Structure formats: C-alpha cells, structure tokens
C-alpha cells in the first residue's frame, strides 16, 4: 500500500535529517518544502478523511516523530477532526518542547465542552511537554478532574514534565503516586521522582507504600530469558511501587525504613523488591540487618546474593567471613567475584591462603581480577 511506503520513507527522512551536523553543531531540519515530497504527502494523507482510521493514525505518528514547525499546521488542523482518536493522536504529536505556537489550539481542546477525555488527556500531556508557563494554571486545575486519564495527564505535566515547580512538586507527586485509579507505571515514576525530596510528608508516604502498597508477583527469570519474558519482566518492574519506594528510602538513608526493608528483603514473591531492598540496606551499615543479609546469601536471584555480600562487608562484622567464603563456589561468576571483594573488605588475614588457592583454579577473568585486587589489599 502506498501509505505504508510513505510512512517508511518519512521515518527514513526523519532519521537522516534530524541529526545533520555542520562543524560539530546540530542543525535544524530543513523546511517541509525542501525535505522532499514525502512529508508534504504524509500531511495531506493524514488529513484525508476518506482513508481508514488506522492509516491516518500511523501517518500522524510519523508527523509527530518529526516534531518540528514544518508539521505543526497539519497537526493543528487535525485537532478538529471528527474522530476523537485522531484528535488525541494529533494533540500528542504536538507535544514537543518549546512548541508554544500550538499552546492555544491545545488549550482549546482541553476547554472544549463535551470533548472526549482521551483527547483532553493527550492535550494536557502535550502542554506539559511543551513547557509554556502560561498553561500551568489550567493544567493544575485539571489535576482535580474526575476522569483518571485527564487527572493523570495533568499531574504528570506538573510533576514529571517541563512545568515542574519546586514549591508544589512534593504534594503533587504524592497525589500522583497515591492515586489508585492511575496507571502503576506513572505512579512508580512519581515515586522515583521523590528520591531527592527532603519533604517529611514524602518520607511518610514512601514508608506507607513500602508497607501497604500493591503487591507485585515477580517470579525469577529464566537463565536465558527470551525477549518476550524480558519485556514482561520490565513491564512489571516499571510498576513495582514497593520496590521503587524501597530504593527511594535507601537513597535517602531513612533509618526509620530499616524494619520495613528487612521484611521486604525477604518477600518470597518479588525478586525485584528483594533486590532493591537489599541494595537499600547497604548505606545504613546497620548491625541489626546482619541476620537477614546472611540469609539472602542463599537467595535464588544472583544479584540479591551479590548485594547481600556488599552490605555485609559494609557492616564490617567478621561474622560474615565464613558465609562469604561459602559463596566462593557460587555458580555465578559475578557472585564469586563479589565474595572475593567482600572478604578483602572484611580484612581477615586468614582468608588469604584460601584466595591464593582459588587464584590457581579460577577460570573466570572477572573473578581473577577481583582476586588480584583482594590479594593486594590483604598483602602482609
């Protein structure tokens, strides 16, 4: 079909022209009329109401990828298309940073009586990415909208987009992350954005999410997971609210989180949560975490075992020497290498003969490199 060939040509033109550099400086794409007939034809066909909805959505998607003033007018015209899906796609495609000339048209979609929520949400998303301060008050008003899609788009625009204001960011992030009607990935992004906030309310919220947030079942991945399994894992990890809360609390070194982190570090159903919880415990160097960390040396997920070795070495308790020695025969080289480094960090000179013996038999270069560093550190 001709329209499919045009879409492919449009993508090829985009990839070729977007990155043109002159003297090391990135140049703007040429005017639409000089970029060849492809983009002009794409714009004409996207506005052709005799074509199928799917065809036109695909064409709008390519125009949105171009994302320059040359495609602005066709996309603005499509904001008045009879089909809500087309209006939403056009609104979303207009959301490139600094595209202030589209703000008025997008605000009209937000304000239009009886406009479909999906279109209003797409227009709000675009306004958030454009970053024109004149639209912020309207976006803030939409954060109270009864429709979840509209509300989520508005909250995202003023917390994760280009219209962030430190004055109200923390309470808005909490509202976004605490809204059960919103997509878990968007809520997880809000939790990650709380990492650097010093607001006590954000700390209290993170503690509550870690203790009472939605449970995620995340079984261990296969040894060599196929692409489909990898994508499914990434999908769940991006939505693991408790995992991201654990990471944020560890990054903030919130000691009040230690009891909760010790519990989540042993969650049998979610290896990702266990991993992030053990990682979060490392900076505390807290002796009371020793029993849980020692048990995690037997975790079925290798990165958890390696992280537990790091955490035990950080505590500096030589009771960890024997458990770390046991990991020198771990089936995973990265865990063996970390066991070597942790033993060196613990500084017990009695382990030197054991490491010297391992150097004579170990085949993995990563472990050998760790052995060289450890033996240098433990040199008499």
| pLDDT score at 35 | 54
How far is it, in rounded angstroms, from Cα 190 to Cα 16?
Answer: 35
Q: What are phi and psi of 160, to 5 degrees?
A: -120, -10
Greatest Cα pair distance in the chain: 83
How far is it, in rounded angstroms, from Cα 25 to Cα 31?
Answer: 18
Instruction: Please list the residues that pair with 22 across neighbouring strands.
Output: 25
Q: Which of 192-206, 293-307, 332-346 has the lowest mean pLDDT?
A: 192-206
**Global pTM value:** 0.85
How far is it, in rounded angstroms, from Cα 362 to Cα 344?
Answer: 17
pLDDT tens column, 149-194: 999 999 999 999 899 999 999 999 999 999 999 999 999 999 999 9
The total of other beta-carbon atoms located within 10 Å of residue 180's CB is: 8
Provide the terminal-to-terminal Cα distance of the chain, rounded to the nearest Å: 75
Tokens of 243: 């995992």
Q: Which of 326, 271, 281 is nearest to 303 (CA)?
A: 271
Q: Which of 172, 176, 194, 309 is nearest to 251 (CA)?
A: 194
Positive or negative torsion for Cα 104, 109, 111, 117: negative
Mean pLDDT computed over 210-227: 91
Say if residues 252 and 195 touch (Cβ distance below 8 Å).
yes
Burial code (b: 16+ CB inside 10 Å, e: under 16) for 253-284 equals: ebeebbebbbebbebeebbbbbbbbbbbbbeb
The CATH classification number of 292-380 equals: 1.25.10.10
Q: How far is CA 161 from CA 72, 106, 128, 184, 225, in A?
A: 21, 16, 5, 17, 34
Instruction: Please list the residues that pair with 218 across neighbouring strands.
Output: 270
Q: Which residue has the tokens 């066909």?
A: 45
How far is it, in rounded angstroms, from Cα 90 to Cα 349?
Answer: 67
Q: How far is CA 83 from CA 28, 52, 79, 87, in A?
A: 32, 11, 9, 6
pLDDT tens column, 316-346: 998 999 999 999 999 999 999 999 999 999 9
How far is it, in rounded angstroms, from Cα 82 to Cα 47?
Answer: 11
Q: Which residue has the tokens 């003969």?
A: 353
Residue ranges per structural domain of the chain: 195-284, 292-380
How far is it, in rounded angstroms, from Cα 261 to Cα 315?
Answer: 16
Mean pLDDT computed over 101-110: 97
Query: To the nearest whole percent, how much of the chain has pLDDT over 90?
Result: 80
Mean pLDDT computed over 240-263: 96
Tokens of 350: 């009695």
Mean pLDDT computed over 216-238: 91
How far is it, in rounded angstroms, from Cα 145 to Cα 43?
Answer: 33
DSSP per residue over 18-35, as a string? TT-EETTEEPPPPPGGGS
**219: helix, strand or coil:** coil
Mean pLDDT computed over 244-256: 95
Q: What are phi and psi of 138, to 5 degrees?
A: -65, -40
């Amino acid at each position: 079909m001709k329209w499919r060939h045009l879409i492919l040509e449009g993508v090829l033109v985009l990839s070729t022209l977007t990155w043109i550099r002159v003297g090391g400086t990135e140049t703007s794409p040429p005017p639409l009329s000089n970029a060849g007939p492809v983009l002009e034809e794409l714009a004409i066909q996207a506005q052709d109401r005799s074509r199928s909805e799917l065809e036109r959505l695909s064409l709008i998607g390519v125009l949105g990828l171009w994302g320059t003033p040359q495609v602005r007018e066709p996309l603005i015209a499509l904001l008045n298309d009879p089909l809500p899906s087309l209006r939403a796609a056009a609104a979303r495609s207009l959301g490139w940073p600094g595209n202030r000339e589209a703000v008025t048209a997008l605000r009209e979609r937000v304000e239009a009586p009886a406009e479909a929520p999906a279109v209003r949400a797409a227009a709000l998303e675009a306004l958030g990415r454009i970053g024109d301060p004149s639209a912020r008050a309207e976006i803030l008003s939409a954060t109270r909208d009864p429709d979840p899609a509209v509300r989520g788009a508005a909250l995202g625009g003023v917390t994760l987009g280009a219209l962030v204001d430190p004055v109200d960011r923390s309470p808005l992030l909490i509202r976004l992350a605490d809204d059960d009607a919103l997509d878990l990935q968007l809520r997880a992004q809000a939790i990650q954005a709380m990492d650097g906030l010093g607001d006590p309310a954000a700390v209290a919220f993170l503690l509550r999410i870690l203790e009472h947030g939605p449970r995620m079942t995340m079984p261990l991945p296969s040894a060599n997971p196929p692409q489909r399994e990898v994508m499914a894992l990434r999908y769940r990890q991006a939505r693991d609210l408790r995992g991201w809360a654990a990471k944020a609390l560890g990054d903030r070194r919130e000691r009040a989180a230690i009891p909760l982190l010790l519990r989540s570090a042993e969650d049998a159903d979610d290896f990702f949560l266990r991993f992030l919880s053990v990682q979060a415990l490392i900076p505390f160097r807290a002796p009371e975490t020793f029993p849980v960390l020692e048990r995690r040396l037997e975790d079925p997920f290798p990165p958890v075992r390696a992280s537990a070795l790091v955490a035990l070495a950080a505590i500096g308790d030589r009771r960890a020497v024997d458990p770390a020695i046991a990991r020198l025969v771990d089936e995973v080289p990265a865990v063996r290498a970390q066991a070597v480094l942790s033993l060196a960090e613990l500084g017990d000179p009695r382990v030197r003969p054991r490491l010297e013996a391992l150097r004579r038999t170990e085949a993995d270069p990563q472990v050998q490199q760790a052995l060289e560093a450890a033996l240098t550190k433990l040199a008499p």
